[in-house]
Structure 1
Amino acid sequence: MAISMSKKKSKVSKKLETKQHHFSDTILFKILYRIPAAIFLLILIFLWSSSTTIISGKFVHVCVSSRKLNNLYCLSAGTQPNFDIPIQELSNNGPISTNSTSASIKEVVDIVREDPNSIIGNRVQNNGSDDEVAFAVKVVETQLQVQRSWISNKNHAASCEGRGIYVYDLPSKFNKDLVGQCGDMIPWTNVCAYFNNDAMGEPIAKLGNGWYHTHQYALELIFHTRALKHRCRVYNENEAKLFYVPYYGGLDILRWHFKNVSNDVKDTLGLELVKWLENKKPWLKNSGKDHVFVLGKISWDFRRKNDASWGTRFLELDQMQNSMKLLIERQPWHINDIGIPHPTYFHPHSDDDIITWQLNIIRSNRKSLIGFAGAARPDAPENIRSILINQCNSDETKCRFLNCSLGGCDKPESVIELFRDSEFCLQPPGDSPTRKSVFDSLVSGCIPVLFDPFTAYYQYPWHLPEDHSKYSVFIGKEEVREMKVNIVEKLMKVSVREREDMRRFIVYELLPGLVYGDSNSKLEKFQDAFSITINNLLERVNRIE
């Protein structure tokens, strides 16, 4: 009986022990299970609070605060630009596009050359590409020829006769009210400080007179301020030759980039502006041909496709096809899209400011052969940046890499000092072909190395010469992607004499025309980017029949 009791007790003990183990394991499992879940939940909350997720068509854009908007070299352009050549819209008679006016098409086709001297012409022929592709390249280049034909070679210092500029006094919702939203325009940063000092930003004392912490999207405000003070401004619309519409379209779309709103909301202000203009006699008189808009973002942000959700359709509107649009990046197949320089950090007040800086950079001791300020694009495997970074880091004695993804480019002086100390500056495409960094390198006397003709050669006909070899080195991105070229080795082969010739051309011929003087600038010897643009616009409208 005792044994029996003992056995029974033993069985109960084992059962109880099993239950106790099971109970303990269950509690332990629940604790261990919930702790990682809680941590994971906290991580998700943190990421959500410091990022913005945007679903656009087939793309999901995640903007995390580590790539801040005040880190100008890491900033996404906010687009999915499509650079496919619109072959389906081409014919032997010219580029047939619903967005092109017949006059623009005729103007392009009339001067099409038989054998365009194209930077990518040989590649097109060697690849056996369709005739339509070669023709599309020809169209781009001949459009640039048309735009170059509008360059004014006259001396406009003396008279404003026949050169009146009328600045529309728009309702504040089209400009000033947009600036007032600077505090919450971008979820993770306040951009209001960039709009101080007539949108030049805060001064950078370390770099000297005329240097400011300017935001790359400040062009609309800078241009507006200068236009209001232009000596040929008129207040009677009947005396005007050129009509400037100061709509801050870039800020309009920037405020919606990171908010979940409908396309109708994004398009509202642009449509209201067109309706407002249609009630104005000057707009109706020439169908908007003598009107100009300045948009501080890239053309693709205003050309939303029907099945997409990114950007607005402002530049796709029928009413917007005749007017001239000045942008930091143009759409290559629209002749009335004209590229003008990105704002740099340098805004000289006087000729002496320019001369002082020219002497500074021409005498600079350039310690590095190559400088590169940028960040990799791991989510874009076709982008060549990672290859360039690896090649640069493989020889740190000749190439310096400033990693923008780690905050290295947050301070403009760090970027300018890198460029001022380098012979060549690598300028691969980023989220779109163009880069503000191209102009920062030129202003620093650093020879830009370009990998895509759309980065500069097909963009800025009024401010950069047709002969790109005078100021840059071109290396095809296909060569880099296929590992057929080592950047360091190739640039070492450029002779010292060639480098000096290019640098002198950049510093003395190009630099003054690439910067925007301050709002009260007193330039006499030089024309800055604003003056060149205004003079060429007036030349263009004088040719309107």
Structure 2
Amino acid sequence: MAISMLKKKPKASKKFETKQHQLSDTIYFKILYRIPAAIFLLILIFLWSSSTTIISGKFLHVCVSSRKLNNLYCLSAGTQPNFEIPIQALNKDGSISPNVTASIKEVVGIVGEDPNLMVANRVHNNGSDGEVAFAVTVVEKLLQVQRSWISNKNHAASCEGKGIFVYDLPSKFNKDLVGQCGDMIPWTNLCKYFDNEAMGEPIVELGNGWYHTHQYALELIFHTRALKHPCRVYDENEAKLFYVPYYGGLDILRWHFKNVSNDVKDSLGLELVKWLENKKSWLKHSGKDHVFVLGKISWDFRRKNDALWGTRLLELDQLQNSMKLLIERQPWHINDIGIPHPTYFHPHSDDDITDWQLKIIRSNRKSLMSFAGAARPDAPENIRSILINQCNSDETKCRFLNCSSGGCDKPASVINLFMDSEFCLQPPGDSPTRKSVFDSLVSGCIPVLFDPFTAYYQYPWHLPEDHSKYSVFIEQEEVREMKVNVVEKLMKVSVREREDMRRFIVYELLPGLVYGDSNSKLQKFQDAFSMTINNLLQRE
């Protein structure tokens, strides 16, 4: 049974009003109306732009396909630890049945609201809209908890009681994986991207601080920065935070194009767990003060059953307490935190940032909008082809850079396109998030989003709750049903609104979206790395 993702129009002033939560696919409205709230919650969170859902017995199976890799990997609600959801989830009065109340409290109870009241109020007062609102509200409340950990302090200025211990892992968990860069991907040699402390080759034409950085370089970049953090300690007894520099994303990547068993794919992650379990520092708080940085999306570490892609690292019971920093999080995991994709910009100094800010705020944006990407011909439900057609129909207002023909291989071409554009279209691809969102923001181009999971439910520490300050949202289903012309809609955004959003992006957001180089000397600004570390240290 294919069901489209549910969406919420991002109006911060009324974000909890149920009228803002509409069903994306009217064909399945009556079906979804009868789905209990607890099941509905899982459907909302698990289903991306393309998926298959099967209910068998007492278990909900959600299988998500990767279009580039032609694979299917599934999540089963009935097999999640402490999250078994029977089909009969609601009592007649709208309350949650006793056998699922404890499970829902795992998600909702942490914010202090009675889950029975939440369901009853939304289902009884609002009908099916209430069920949608309840499901979205759970996701938003988890984000509120994560936002409560945001620190207003730069802990590097005073490291007392804020020590960071970086494990010196055996090289097989990180350095040896980098050494396999030559044959990880059959069509690309990644070694050149991992040079220069994983920033890649300099991009001279873009100026100081610009490098050809690969999208999978986050693990290496973060590790290098952590080793040089002023609050780093070498005595475990002085540490508040323990960083585990395991390159799990590279571990996944090295096996995907080789004919090996799932046991082989999981082997290094299991070895890591055994290694940690021999450490007193791990056992002391059951890993709660430990953090992992993983440079691929959460799905890749949550392989289910006999699926071919990824590992089951994040499904291991031993890792449930730890913090996981990912470029794309699972919204129902409180310990999954989304942090920015690495961009091409790695400033060394405050001047690098201010010089770039001035350059892009003064940029002459000749095009109303642009799209850098590729169509998904094997996924007809994807809106990319529609957007490309709308873009190409008026080339005076929209520019299309075709990534399928290698047009996006040169970072300077992408950044220059975004610097020339008022708006940058950011439809979902193989997963909801896109590195391109951060490339557009760093270029001062206002991102146009079509799926709230692309950014709004992903990055609570680096993007504000009020989405209208930095983006435009257009409902994906309206595009799919040809109810909206994106060019015409964006033309209606006033020049004043565009300028306000761009100033907010450039002066408020940009410094916190980029990762400075390993020797960066930032005084006025906190970059993405510093913000992340400070928030981790703030969390009790």
TM-score of the pair, normalised by structure 1 = 0.80
Q: Deviations over 1:417-457 (max 9, x none)?
A: 00000000000000000000000000000000000000000
Q: Secondary structure at the match of 1:221?
A: helix
Letter of the 2:356 counterpart = W
8 A Cα contact 1:462 1:532, kept in partner: yes
Q: CA deviation at 1:104?
A: 6.0
Q: Secondary structure at the match of 2:422?
A: strand
Q: State yes or no: 1:324 paired with 2:339.
A: no
8 A Cα contact 2:104 2:115, kept in partner: no
Aligned residue for 2:445? Answer: 446
Q: How does 1:339-354 map to 2 (within 5 A)?
A: 339-354=338-353
Task: Give unpaired runs (5+ residues) of structure 1.
Answer: 1-56, 64-75
In 2: Cα distance, 1:410 partner to 1:84 partner: 39
With over 3 angstroms needed to count, the CA separation of the structure-2 counterparts of 1:428 and 1:213, relative to structure 1, is: same
Q: CA deviation at 1:129?
A: 3.6
In 2: Cα distance, 1:327 partner to 1:360 partner: 30
Q: State yes or no: 1:306 paired with 2:309.
A: no
Letter of the 1:243 counterpart = F
Q: Secondary structure at the match of 2:185?
A: coil
Aligned residue for 1:106? Answer: 109
Aligned residue for 2:254? Answer: 255
Q: State yes or no: 1:246 paired with 2:255.
A: no
Q: How does 1:356-371 map to 2 (within 5 A)?
A: 356-371=355-370
Aligned residue for 1:173? Answer: 172
Q: How does 1:497-536 map to 2 (within 5 A)?
A: 497-536=496-535
Q: Secondary structure at the match of 1:401?
A: strand
Q: Secondary structure at the match of 2:165?
A: strand
8 A Cα contact 2:291 2:322, kept in partner: yes
Letter of the 2:426 counterpart = Q
Aligned residue for 1:406? Answer: 405
8 A Cα contact 1:165 1:240, kept in partner: yes
Q: Secondary structure at the match of 1:356?
A: helix
Q: How does 1:114-153 map to 2 (within 5 A)?
A: 129=128, 132-153=131-152
TM-score of the pair, normalised by structure 2 = 0.81
With over 3 angstroms needed to count, the CA separation of the structure-2 counterparts of 1:503 and 1:130, relative to structure 1, is: closer
Letter of the 2:301 counterpart = F
Letter of the 1:370 counterpart = M
Aligned residue for 1:208? Answer: 207
Aligned residue for 2:39? Answer: none
Letter of the 2:148 counterpart = S
Q: CA deviation at 1:274?
A: 0.5
In 2: Cα distance, 1:442 partner to 1:289 partner: 33
Q: Secondary structure at the match of 2:133?
A: helix
Q: CA deviation at 1:309?
A: 2.0
8 A Cα contact 1:87 1:136, kept in partner: no
Q: How does 1:274-293 map to 2 (within 5 A)?
A: 274-293=273-292
Q: CA deviation at 1:133?
A: 4.1
Q: Which has the larger radius of gyration?
A: 1
In 2: Cα distance, 1:210 partner to 1:270 partner: 34
Aligned residue for 1:460? Answer: 459
In 2: Cα distance, 1:533 partner to 1:276 partner: 26
In 1: Cα distance, 2:272 partner to 2:336 partner: 19
In 2: Cα distance, 1:209 partner to 1:103 partner: 47
Q: Deviations over 1:311-352 (max 9, x none)?
A: 110000111100000000001110100000000000000000
Q: Secondary structure at the match of 1:296?
A: strand
Aligned residue for 2:15? Answer: none
In 2: Cα distance, 1:296 partner to 1:502 partner: 29
8 A Cα contact 2:71 2:308, kept in partner: no
Task: Say which is worse superposed, 300-309 or 432-441, in terms of deviation.
Answer: 300-309
Letter of the 1:414 counterpart = S
Q: CA deviation at 1:109?
A: 5.0
Q: Secondary structure at the match of 2:448?
A: strand
In 2: Cα distance, 1:61 partner to 1:478 partner: 21
8 A Cα contact 1:111 1:142, kept in partner: no
Q: Secondary structure at the match of 1:287?
A: coil
Q: Deviations over 1:448-496 (max 9, x none)?
A: 0000000000000000000000000000100000000000000000000
8 A Cα contact 1:304 1:311, kept in partner: yes
In 1: Cα distance, 2:450 partner to 2:301 partner: 25
8 A Cα contact 2:107 2:138, kept in partner: no
Q: Secondary structure at the match of 2:399?
A: strand
Q: Deviations over 1:103-159 (max 9, x none)?
A: 66531454889899xxxx9xxx99x64755432211111000000000011243531
Task: Say which is worse superposed, 133-142 or 280-289, in terms of deviation.
Answer: 133-142
In 2: Cα distance, 1:157 partner to 1:436 partner: 28
Aligned residue for 1:295? Answer: 294
Aligned residue for 2:25? Answer: none
Aligned residue for 1:394? Answer: 393
Task: Give unpaired runs (5+ residues) of structure 2.
Answer: 1-61
Q: Deviations over 1:194-236 (max 9, x none)?
A: 0011000000000000000000000000000000000000000
Letter of the 2:211 counterpart = Y
8 A Cα contact 2:193 2:201, kept in partner: yes
8 A Cα contact 1:293 1:326, kept in partner: yes
Q: Secondary structure at the match of 1:259?
A: coil
With over 3 angstroms needed to count, the CA separation of the structure-2 counterparts of 1:99 and 1:216, relative to structure 1, is: farther
Aligned residue for 2:431? Answer: 432
Aligned residue for 2:197? Answer: 198
Q: Secondary structure at the match of 1:243?
A: strand
Letter of the 1:315 counterpart = L
Letter of the 1:106 counterpart = G
Q: State yes or no: 1:496 paired with 2:499.
A: no
Q: State yes or no: 1:487 paired with 2:490.
A: no
Letter of the 1:468 counterpart = H
Q: State yes or no: 1:538 paired with 2:537.
A: yes
Q: Secondary structure at the match of 1:425?
A: strand
Aligned residue for 1:272? Answer: 271
Q: CA deviation at 1:258?
A: 1.0
Letter of the 2:379 counterpart = A
Letter of the 2:240 counterpart = K
8 A Cα contact 2:147 2:460, kept in partner: yes
With over 3 angstroms needed to count, the CA separation of the structure-2 counterparts of 1:502 and 1:248, relative to structure 1, is: same
Q: State yes or no: 1:186 paired with 2:185.
A: yes
In 2: Cα distance, 1:418 partner to 1:94 partner: 54
With over 3 angstroms needed to count, the CA separation of the structure-2 counterparts of 1:131 and 1:61, relative to structure 1, is: closer
